[in-house]
Structure formats: structure tokens, C-alpha cells
Amino acid sequence: MHPPLASLSPPTLACVIQDALAHLQALGYSAKYMRRCRSIWTAFARFAADETLGEGDAVALVSRFLASRGLPPTPSPGTLSSHQRMIQAVMRVLTEFALHGCYQRRCRVTQQITLPAPFHDVLQSYADFCTTQLRCSRGTMRMRMRNLTRWLHFLTTQHVQTVQDLHATHLSAFVRSQLHLQPRTVAVLLSDLRSFLRFLCLQGLVPADLSVHVPTVRIPRDARLPAVWRPEDVEALLAAVDRSSPKGKRDYAMLLLACRLGLRVSDIRTLRLEHLHWHVAELRLTQTKTRVPLTLPLSEEVGQALIDYLRHGRPRTHYREVFLRVNAPLEPFGADDNLYHIITFYRRRAQIALPSEGQQGMHALRHTVATRLLATGTPLETIAAILGHRSLASTQLYTKVDIETLRHAALDVEDLPHA
């Protein structure tokens, strides 16, 4: 682990920069990106050599450097140029590397990380165990392998070569390096790590079960209320779609499936032609997340949008998935695509303002369907069936955001007997 940036002498800072560049190369960053990092970090080293700061003033030193490049302490979204955003990003990389000895990539491109053979082999054994013995879904395994790849790469920065060299202190250092993440993300990450450590103990690869040293992040079920759109915003979103183009026809049908039927993104993305039962006007599929069958009625609005896309927007192809990309290669959406780019494009076009702390993706439309059904008096059991929930506990969460229903159900103080 490197000392704080402010306490580094120029020669030591130069070594940190070289180590950070080697670290980025191991993470799979491009040579072009690393050249930009080198340029900005070299400028920072020159700036640091001319500054006189006290011990532990790393934050002040970095802030002063950013200010010298025209970056305020808390810039407003959209006010920075692309070059300023680059400076801000690469300084965050250097600061995190100096503090933790590694930089955690922001949830993507972990497949570019090359793990040492001992780590790669044990991770593959764990993946086989989860698939064959635990019956984990592909989506679960994608996220789990991504998280564990980050963990094992972190160990390489701590000079750990095999799982036999693991120690509880490595767990503490890793948790500290994840403080930039949201609590719910950290909770999932640590849950995956506990599972992996238990596997290592079960296979006799480590002498003791280290999973007991992994802290637990408890997230209350209702810690984050579902995001709900106003009805007028939903209609404005749909009206913003140009339905004369193949892309518009596709996007309109996808948005309708979310905001009228409440389908999950994974089920929209993987919807297949055989799931559309036109003769009975129904949509029948097995949900990607729960593996539970789901049957929903196809309203005329949704059905017409699907027909319009299938006849006049969808390219001729051998793929059975309903929705395909509009640019080459003309194939289904990737397994990690949450379709956020689609809803964001039309939300901005419609100039819909949403709270920054709430969900703004396609899943918010699913929440909106549930809340609308609840407001019209639909029983929870029916809503659970429409949304494909396996437990009523998931559906009951929406009662916390049905403010209008709660207001009507409130007791009138004047009607209460007085002592």
C-alpha cells in the first residue's frame, strides 16, 4: 500500500504513477487511455512538487490541482468539458490506487482482466460447482464471476499468489477499497465472497472457513422505495417515440411491454416469437429471473405495436428473439443490456424530470404498473400474478408508495370517540 499522495516525495510519486500505469495495463485499459493518464499524472507530479502542504493533506492537494484545471469542488452535472471529466476521472484512479494499492473498475470489462493460473483454475472450479450443484442461473453467475474476478485481482495487488495465502486482513483491505459503492452493491459483493470462501473451505483448499470474517451489510427490504412515474410522464415518454422508423417501432413496443404489462427488462430482452400466442391474445413465457411461468393478456394497444414492429421494423433473420438491434450486427441484445439507453433517450427527448435519487431505468415502469393497479383497488394476489412475484412480500412493498390510497384510508379525527 502506498503512502498518502500529499506525503510523497517527487521520486516516490513517480514510482506510484508507474505502478498505477502497470496496474491499468493489467486491467485491460487501452494504450490510448494510459497515455492520457500518464500526461495528467505527470502534470500533477509537477504541480505537487511546487506545493507545500502538511502531512495528510492529500485531499487538499488533489482538490487544488483540479481547481487549477478549472474544476470546482462540486461541479454541476453537464457543466464540465470532456477534457475536464477525463482529468477528474484519472485523478480518482490515482488517488484510489495510492490509497488501496489497486483500482476497482466500475462494474464492467472484467473479462479483460487476466488472472494468474492458480486463481483462474479455482474460480473455474467454483463456477462449475455453482452451475452443477447449486443450479445458479446464468444471470447470477455472470454477476458472481464479475465480483469474484475483481476480488481475486485485488489479491494480486496485495502480492497474494494462491488461495492458500489468504488471510483475514486481505478481506478487510478489500472491503475498505469498495467504499465508493452503494450499500446494496457491497452487500451483493460480500455475499458472493462468502459463498466463494465457503467453497474453498469445503474443498479443503484453505485450512479454515474465512467467510466468518466477511462483514454483513444489512439492507432492510423497504430501505429503498420503488420509483414511480406520474401517469402524464408515462404518456409523454410514449409520445416522444418516432414510430415511423424501425427503431421507433421496436422501442415503442418494448416500452409498452414495460409500462402496460410490467414485464422485467430480462423478459423483454429475451422475449421470443413462440411466446406470442396470437390466437388467444396472450403472452406466455418462463420468467428469466424466477423460472416461473407467466401468462399475460395482450391488449390491442400492445398487440398492435408488436405487429407493427414485426411486419415493418424487424429485420429478416434466423433469430427467434422478438427484439433485435437496429445496427449491425442485427442480433439480440446482450445478456447484460438493461435497456437503460432506450428509456433515457426518450425521457430526455420528452424532457421528463425525475428525482436524482430514484430509479430511472426500465424497472421504474414496472413499479409504476404495480402502483397504478394498487390504486385502482386490484388485490395484491392479482398484482403478484401479473408481475410474476413468487412471494406476496415482494408485492406488499408497493403499498408503501400508494400515498393516495393511504390518504383515503386515514382515520378522520372528528369521527373518533373522545374521552
Residue 290: pLDDT over 90: no
What's the pLDDT tens digit per position in 229-268?
Answer: 888 999 999 999 999 999 999 999 999 999 999 899 999 9
Q: Which of 29, 103, 346, 398 is catalytic?
A: 398
Q: Which of 105, 153, 366, 372 is catalytic?
A: 366
pLDDT band at 401 (very low <50, low <70, confident <90, very high): low
Q: Is the domain 110-213 a CATH 1.10.150.130 member?
A: yes
Residue 272: pLDDT over 90: yes
Active site residue 32: no
Active site residue 398: yes
Active site residue 184: no
pLDDT band at 154 (very low <50, low <70, confident <90, very high): confident
Residue 358: pLDDT over 70: no
398 and 370 Cβ atoms separated by less than 8 Å: yes
Separation in Å, CA 186 to CA 128, 217, 394, 405: 24, 7, 21, 35
374 closest CA partner among 411, 412, 400 = 400
Cα–Cα distance, 156 to 19 (Å, whole number): 13
Cα–Cα distance, 92 to 62 (Å, whole number): 9
Candidate from 118-127, 156-165, 212-221 with smallest mean pLDDT: 212-221
Active site residue 341: no
Superfamily of segment(s) 231-406: Intergrase catalytic core (1.10.443.10)
Active site residue 363: yes
With vertex at residue 413, the alpha carbon angle to CA 408 and CA 416, rounded to the nearest 5 degrees, is 110
Candidate from 155-159, 167-171, 217-221, 372-376 with smallest mean pLDDT: 217-221
- The mean pLDDT value of the chain amounts to 82
For residues 346-374, average pLDDT: 80
Q: Which of 38, 213, 289, 325 is catalytic?
A: 289
What's the pLDDT tens digit per position in 98-133?
Answer: 777 777 655 445 566 788 899 999 999 999 999 999
* Of residues 252 and 335, more confidently modeled: 252
Task: Provide the strand spans (E) within 101-237.
Answer: none
Residue 311: pLDDT over 60: yes
For residues 199-216, average pLDDT: 92
Q: Which of 243, 314, 363, 372 is catalytic?
A: 363
Residue 52: pLDDT over 90: no
With vertex at residue 125, the alpha carbon angle to CA 123 and CA 131, rounded to the nearest 5 degrees, is 105
For residues 332-339, average pLDDT: 87
* Of residues 359 and 374, more confidently modeled: 374
pLDDT at residue number 412 = 43
What's the pLDDT tens digit per position in 298-307?
Answer: 999 999 999 9
Active site residue 264: yes
* Of residues 4 and 318, more confidently modeled: 318
Cα–Cα distance, 131 to 27 (Å, whole number): 26
pLDDT at residue number 277 = 96
For residues 337-357, average pLDDT: 85
Q: Which of 264, 314, 347, 367 is catalytic?
A: 264
Q: What percent of the chain has pLDDT over 70?
A: 82
Give the three-class secondary structure for 272: strand
pLDDT at residue number 6 = 47
For residues 68-84, average pLDDT: 75
pLDDT at residue number 106 = 53
pLDDT at residue number 28 = 77
288 and 270 Cβ atoms separated by less than 8 Å: yes
Cα–Cα distance, 214 to 403 (Å, whole number): 39
